[in-house]
Chains A and B, each alone.
Chain A
Amino acid sequence: MTDSMLIYKIILCVIVFAVSLGAAAYMTWGERKLAAWLQDRVGPNRAGPLGLLQPIADGIKMIFKEEMIPTHSNRWLFILGPCFFMLCACMTGVVIPWGAGWEAGGTIFPMQVTDINIGLLYLLGVVSIGVYGVMIGGWASNNKYSLLGALRASSQMISYEVAMGLALIALVMMTGTLSLKEIVAQQDQGLSYVVYQPLGFIIFIICAFAETNRAPFDLPECESELVGGYHTEYSSMKLGFFLFAEYINMFISSAIMASLYFGGYNFPFQHELGLDGNLLTAVQTAVFFGKIFIFIFVFMWVRWTLPRFRYDQLMNLGWKVLLPLAIANIIITGFVMLFMGKLG
Chain B
Amino acid sequence: MSLEVLKRGLLATVQDIGRRGYGKFGVGTSGVMDSYAYSLANWLVGNNGEEAALEITWYGFAVKFLSDTLVSITGADLAPESGGLSVPMWRPVFFRQGSELIFKRPVSGCRSYVAVSGGIDVPEVMGSRSTNLRAGIGGLNGRALESGDVIHIQHSASSYIRLSDRSENSPFQTVKWSAAPHMTYGGSQVIRVTRGRQFEDFHQEARDRFFQSEYSVKPESDRMGYRLSGPVLGMECPREYISEGVAAGTVQVPADGQPIVLMADRQTLGGYPKIAQVASVDLPRVAQLPPGGRVRFQEISHSESEQLCFEQARQMRLLKTMIDSKLKEENNAAD
The yes or no verdict on A and B being binding partners is no
